[in-house]
Structure 1
Amino acid sequence: MKQQNWLDTDSLRGSDFSMSSAFPALMRKVFVWMTLALAITGITAYGVASTPSLIMAILGNKALFWGLIIAELVLVFSVSGAINRLSLSTATLLFVLYSVVNGATLSVIFLAFSMTAIVKTFLITAGTFGVMALVGYTTKTDLTSMGKLLFMALLGLIIATVVNMFVRSSGFDLILSYVGVLIFVGLTAYDTQKIKQMCQLAPDAGEHMQKLALLGALSLYLDFINLFLYLLRIFGNNKE
């Protein structure tokens, strides 16, 4: 789930500085938080998949599985929508909790795909993500217009995915996977540029700006996870 306009950089443009002295620290926090969240998700997913009682509880109880999905949505909207009312420690705790819950739901990929396919796809994802994040960080081109188009494309992808849940076309599913990759490759560059602009304009590295950096980390985390899942559907060797 992506949150559009999670940061309005125009609200920070009234200051008298060209680049914030807090810029390096905030950018570092963004990527450290994102990396830690990915590590927590990966460890949780593997741990759940390696524990028969836990994985069977998730697969054998639809109420529990859908409860985890709903919990993920609630946590994302809680962090994104109530960030100004939350303390930094509470927002961080919710982000960590979301990473754990997401790891639990993603544990099923270890049953559907081989470890080789998962590791290979993770490395492809990491490389692709890194390149596009670098593009977003270094490009002089304003990606705002591209970002708006990508969000509209994402909405279309979600609708098409729901439709295909009823149609169940494997060919259409593969097409949607390629489209998903293109969308999240673009969103990675777009989000990185928005985060860079936010950190450059930050008046300080106080709690408010750190909470915005946490939102940036969440945005990039979601880009990475979604990119990984779509690539896994393309490159993964299904065990069946």
Structure 2
Amino acid sequence: MAQFDTIRSAAGVRSAEIDVGLRAHMNKVYGTMSVGTLITFLAAWAIAGLSVTSDPAGAVAQLSGDSYLTSFGYAIYASPLKWVIMFAPLAFIFFGFGAAMKRLPAAGVQLVFYGFAALMGLSISSIFVVFTGESIAQVFLVTSIAFAGLSLVGYTTKKDLSGMGSFLIMGVIGLLVASVVNIFMQSSAMGFAISILGVLIFAGLTAYDTQKIKNTYLEMVHTGDQEWLGKAAIMGALNLYLDFINMFMFLLQLLGNRE
């Protein structure tokens, strides 16, 4: 009987250690994601500030009213360079981040993630030119509340969400193709449908990715490989960061007020 109590006590201690480790792991995921999000919006705001001026003497093109594009703004928003900037984050995800995960230590991968966040800021900086600052702040708040709720659902639910994964990934691919097509079609109805579907798909991915991050930790914590767990936390932060940014962008298309 004493031996059984000892085993049960040891199991309880081990379970408590896993709980503490899981909380620390999730804190690192959310902390890294939050810093990346902050970098993105600060970079976007700063770049937009360099792109627009109220002084026509130093302007290249007029936007509207007393707003003008600087030469820098014209280069990144109106020249062919805009296509490179638009698709650079996507190329980085497919080709750059995977290589960093294989070759760099966890600290290096984290720096790469922050660099990617700055690049994303450049890619979405036009929102500070197109939309009012007030509507950007409002949509950011709405997205933050929705994200927190969905992530909490993914963390606490007992239901296995893994079956959603392939369906949601297919939805993301469909959204990407439809978005590229609509760049040339310029259909407002299609754009509205893409935004609605985008919000729903990335809402689902937020819950799915949160559960996947939790389950991955629970599966791998027994290996004791802290370097791998550190990289897994950064990869989890990247996934949740992309869910947040995309949900924000689609909600902004639906709810944002344009300048």
TM-score in terms of structure 1 length: 0.86
1:194 counterpart (199, 209, 212): 212
Q: Cα RMSD over matched residues?
A: 1.9
Residue in 2 aligned with 1:3? Answer: none
Give yes or no for the alignment of 1:167 onto 2:185. yes
CA offset at residue 155 of structure 1?
Answer: 1.6
CA offset at residue 73 of structure 1?
Answer: 2.9
Residue in 2 aligned with 1:39? Answer: 38
Contact 1:55 1:108 in 2 (8 A): no
**In structure 2, distance between residues paired with 1:70 and 1:114:** 24
Contact 1:191 1:219 in 2 (8 A): yes
Unaligned runs of 5+ in 2: 1-13, 52-69
Contact 1:25 1:205 in 2 (8 A): no
Q: Which amino acid aligns with 2:139?
A: T
Q: Which amino acid aligns with 1:232?
A: L
Q: Which amino acid aligns with 2:212?
A: K
Q: Which amino acid aligns with 1:200?
A: L
**In structure 2, distance between residues paired with 1:74 and 1:165:** 18
Contact 2:100 2:112 in 1 (8 A): no
Q: Which amino acid aligns with 2:83?
A: W
Q: Which amino acid aligns with 1:215?
A: M
Flag the structure with higher helix content: 2
CA offset at residue 154 of structure 1?
Answer: 1.6
SS of 1:22 mapped into structure 2: helix
Residue in 2 aligned with 1:177? Answer: 195
Residue in 2 aligned with 1:131? Answer: 149
Count of aligned residue pairs for this structure pair: 222
**In structure 1, distance between residues paired with 2:167 and 2:117:** 28
Unaligned runs of 5+ in 1: 1-16
1:107 counterpart (125, 142, 145): 125
Taking a change above 3 Å as real, the CA distance of residues 76 and 124 of structure 1, as seen in their structure-2 partners, is same
Once the two structures are superposed, the pairs formed by residues 5-84 of structure 1 within 5 Å of their partners are: 20=18, 22-52=21-51, 53=70, 54-63=72-81, 65-77=82-94, 78-84=96-102
Give yes or no for the alignment of 1:230 onto 2:243. no
Deviations 1:148-192 (A, max 9, x none): 211112222222222222322101110110000000000000000
SS of 1:133 mapped into structure 2: helix
Residue in 1 aligned with 2:112? Answer: 94
Q: Which amino acid aligns with 1:209?
A: L
Contact 1:30 1:213 in 2 (8 A): yes
- Between the two proteins, what is the percent identity of the paired residues? 40
